[in-house]
Amino acid sequence: MGALGGCPSGRLMAATEPPSSGATTQAEFIADLATSTQLAEMAGQLDSHLKQIEAQLGVIVLPRGSHFHISGPAEAVQAAQQVLLQLYQQARQGRSLSAQWVHHSIQGARLDAEAVQAGDVGAGVQTRRGVVHGRGVRQRRYLDAIRRNDLTFGIGPAGTGKTYLAVAAAVEALSQESVQRLLLVRPAVEAGERLGFLPGSLSEKVDPYLRPLYDALYEMLGFEKVSKLLERQVIEVAPLAYM
């Protein structure tokens, strides 16, 4: 996920023409997927996801095994590459891809390509380990909304950076002493009482649901710093709806 890091990514091959708006260009995306099942999930049944990309972006996508050849207007090719990267990341994580998910991904990629052409890169979030940038225009708007408002709702498909960016904004606020304490809450299961039927201790049953929060904190602050802040209860991580 670009600046978000942590996710495996395919390879984007250089375009044959400069990516100026309106110019016809060609590019290649290589999906190093482990199984043919993941590759099929990425392309969709009878290449339905690829056809959806072609129809909405006005490009041609030719699959050759794990290689995807893209041709069309430069801005649309850039957007198609971004969509293929997102499809790749979702397929690698074993997630099912619906036509609606692909549609939203295409819409976001189109906005991102337009923002790049306009030179809109947005401001990043400063953490101890570096600056975290929103990957696209929607993620940048999400970060801006968190900064400007007391309450922000981020709605979108899994794997689009909602949790990671929210943690990054929280870490920035703590580092700048805008807040004195962080409480990070994440849903554990549909109904908390169901965890009681699972084997293992409370920690063993809940921790997998909270892992994305811990992983983001460790990446931004380092393991030792996070451990100290957790011990001092400056940062608290809790499951939602556990009874």
Distance CA 141, CA 156 (A): 13
Which of 221, 137, 4, 54 shows the shortest CA–CA distance to 235?
221
CATH of the domain at 131: 3.40.50.300
Distance CA 65, CA 53 (A): 18
In which band, very low, low, confident or very high, does the pLDDT at 241 lie, cut at 50, 70 and 90? low
Answer yes or no: are the C-beta atoms of 53 and 71 closer than 8 Å. Answer: no
How high does pLDDT run on average in the chain? 78
Q: Helix or strand or coil: residue 31? A: coil
Q: Estimate the crossing angle of helix 36-43 against helix 48-57, to 10 degrees.
A: 30
Using the 3D structure, point to which of 63, 93, 118 is the last residue of a domain.
118
Tokens 């939602």 belong to: 240
Same domain, 112 and 131: no
In which band, very low, low, confident or very high, does the pLDDT at 54 lie, cut at 50, 70 and 90? very high
Question: What stretch of H or E contains 64?
Answer: strand 60-64
Using the 3D structure, point to which of 68, 95, 118 is the last residue of a domain.
118
Residue 16: the pLDDT is 47
**What is this structure's pTM?**
0.52
Same domain, 14 and 85: yes
Same domain, 113 and 133: no
Q: Helix or strand or coil: residue 180? A: coil
In which band, very low, low, confident or very high, does the pLDDT at 8 lie, cut at 50, 70 and 90? very low
Residue 58: the pLDDT is 92
